[in-house]
Amino acid sequence: METSTSRQQDSLAFWNSWCQSYNSGNVVLNEITPEALANYDRAYLAYYPYLLKRIGAEEMFGKRVLEVGLGFGTLGQKIAETGADYLGMDIAENQVDLMNHRMRVGGFSGKAIQADFLQSDLPDNAFDVVVSVGCFHHTGDIARCVDEAHRVLRPGGSARIMLYNRFSLRQWKDWPWKTLRALLGVPPELSREQRLQYDGLDGAAAPITEFTSIRQAKSLFRRFSRLSIHKENCDDLGLVGSVVLQRKKLLRVVGPLLGLDLYIDVTK
């Protein structure tokens, strides 16, 4: 029987390896140089053109910001560039090293630490903003992550969190019966193929992946005083024959209606 400890160990190994692949959102980072990082960041933000707006990075000057889950560091660097007092956190050593490299090369005062957010010793009421894009749904306990975000935020502080949407167009198109059962209140078991389609590396799927509905999100964040949720992101859409509608043209239409991701903005 798989234990929570073994799942966490599998997750650590997966995300360390994933970071070494330098491939996210169909954007590839070929080497770790200032020029390569800058090119990667431009391509990444072009692929996710709504990201900085949803996170509100331009509003973070002078604020104490915690980012949980670092990816390849694009968002963390953009936050640090605003003049925020930045702290990044990730379970994977490679992602932490890459973020600290970005901080050193860019001359920013922020830093990243290797730690598990669910087991951290961060003080209460310590941050003005908590940011997490694509991390909480890989921890195995979204509710505890939300509680931790609430705990470490000062009163009046805000959190900007991205979670995978349970009822996205991808879910309805690729797994209609499972999605219908979820709509009827029957939690579906996630297959390897489902997890692989969201986060995969050389045929291996992320060990832990969870999906959240808007209704569930409202319940998860009920302790916060203000909440807004926006859907973003989508796939290419195949039509009859070989006709394909490109993702770039669909983002503004399909994203807000049946997007892959929920962007949640809350105030403590």
* pTM score, whole prediction: 0.91
Identify the weakest region by mean pLDDT among 30-34, 61-65, 72-76.
30-34
- Report domain extents, the chain: 4-267
106 backbone dihedrals φ, ψ, rounded to 5°: -80, -10
The H-or-E segment that residue 65 falls in is strand 64-68
Question: What are the start-end ranges of the H helices in the chain?
Answer: 4-21, 34-47, 51-55, 74-81, 93-106, 142-152, 169-174, 176-183, 192-198, 214-220, 247-250, 254-258
- pLDDT-derived band at 215 (thresholds 50, 70, 90) equals very high
87-140 tens-digit pLDDT: 999 998 889 999 999 999 999 989 999 999 999 999 999 999 999 999 999 998
DSSP string, 105-174: HHT-S-EEEE--GGG--PPTT-EEEEEEES-GGGSS-HHHHHHHHHHHEEEEEEEEEEEEBTT-HHHHHH
Q: CB under 8 Å to 5, separation ≥6 — which residues?
A: none
Give me the pLDDT at residue 7, please: 62
The fold of 4-267 is Rossmann fold (3.40.50)
Give me the pLDDT at residue 4, please: 52
Give me the pLDDT at residue 206, please: 79
Query: By the 8 A CB rule, do 181 and 259 touch?
Result: no
29-57 tens-digit pLDDT: 667 788 888 888 998 999 999 999 999 98
Q: How far is 56 from 229, CA to CA, in rounded Å?
A: 14
251-268 tens-digit pLDDT: 999 999 999 999 999 999
Look over the chain and give the mean of its residue pLDDT values, rounded to a whole number. Answer: 88
Separation in Å, CA 84 to CA 67, 69, 149? 11, 17, 18
HSE-up of residue 77 (Cα within 13 Å, Cβ side): 24
Specify the higher pLDDT residue, 19 or 36.
Answer: 36
Tokens found for residue 252: 């503004």
Residue 212 per-residue DSSP state: B
Give me the pLDDT at residue 208, please: 86
Q: Are strands 127-133 and 153-164 parallel, antiparallel or unpaired?
A: parallel
pLDDT cut 70: percent of the chain above it: 87
pLDDT cut 90: percent of the chain above it: 65
Hey, how many other C-beta atoms are within 10 angstroms of the C-beta on 26? Answer: 9
Give me the pLDDT at residue 135, please: 94
Helix (H/G/I), strand (E/B), else coil: 40: helix
